[in-house]
Amino acid sequence: MNSQHPMSKFFTGNKETLQENVKKRGIDLRARLIEFYETYYSSNQMNLAIVAPQSLDELKSIATELFSSIPNRNRSKPEDAWVGVIPPYKEGSSQIPAARHVLEIVPVQELRQVTLTWPLVYNPIEEERTTNLLVKPDYYVSH
């Protein structure tokens, strides 16, 4: 993974990574969270889905009451700053996912689900991107 690519930064945390390591590195986590909030927390970045038995008018009223206070800072998507600019893998790198890793994880609850995520290298040629959409390479990942 290219250390300059956002996918190499932060995904999850625990007490060690969010408390102990942060203190050791002298990072003000609260200040970083506020900075993140002010940079990215904007209603134009969000979607809301509501499923409830109430009528559409009632749901609109409830949603407006509960969520209209979220500020719209008209932020662009965070990835807009790096898509096509910073490749997820270094050119000619052995870091491309062919390197095999086995992770054994003990779940914290009974859940029969697995989520796989990996970055794809941005292709600046629109015709090739469209072809990939039509071929649907994501269909190859199934069970």
Is 135 a member of any domain?
Answer: yes
Is 31 a member of any domain?
Answer: yes
Element spanning 127, H or E: helix 126-135
- CB count, 10 Å around CB of 18? 14
Is 69 a member of any domain?
Answer: yes
pLDDT in tens, 36-54: 888 888 999 888 999 999 9
Cα 115–chain centre separation: 13
Q: What is the pLDDT of residue 141?
A: 66
Q: What is the pLDDT of residue 56?
A: 94
Q: Domain of 14?
A: 6-140
Which residues, 6 or more positions from 54, have their beta carbon under 8 angstroms from its beta carbon? 62
Q: What is the pLDDT of residue 89?
A: 66
Grade residue 143 by pLDDT with cuts at 50, 70 and 90. Answer: low
Is 106 a member of any domain?
Answer: yes
Element spanning 31, H or E: helix 29-40
Is 63 a member of any domain?
Answer: yes
Is 1 a member of any domain?
Answer: no
- The share of the chain scoring above pLDDT 70, in percent, equals 71
Q: Name the percent of the chain in helix, strand, coil, to the closest 5.
A: 40, 0, 60
Nearest to 118 by CA among 92, 91, 143, 89: 89
Secondary structure string (H, E, C) spanning 45-66: HCCCCCCCCCCHHHHHHHHHHH
Is 107 a member of any domain?
Answer: yes
Question: Higher pLDDT residue, 42 or 127?
Answer: 42
Is 71 a member of any domain?
Answer: yes
| pTM flag (> 0.75) | no
Q: What is the pLDDT of residue 97?
A: 54
Q: How many domains does the chain have?
A: 1
Average pLDDT of the chain, as a whole number: 79
Q: What is the pLDDT of residue 58?
A: 97
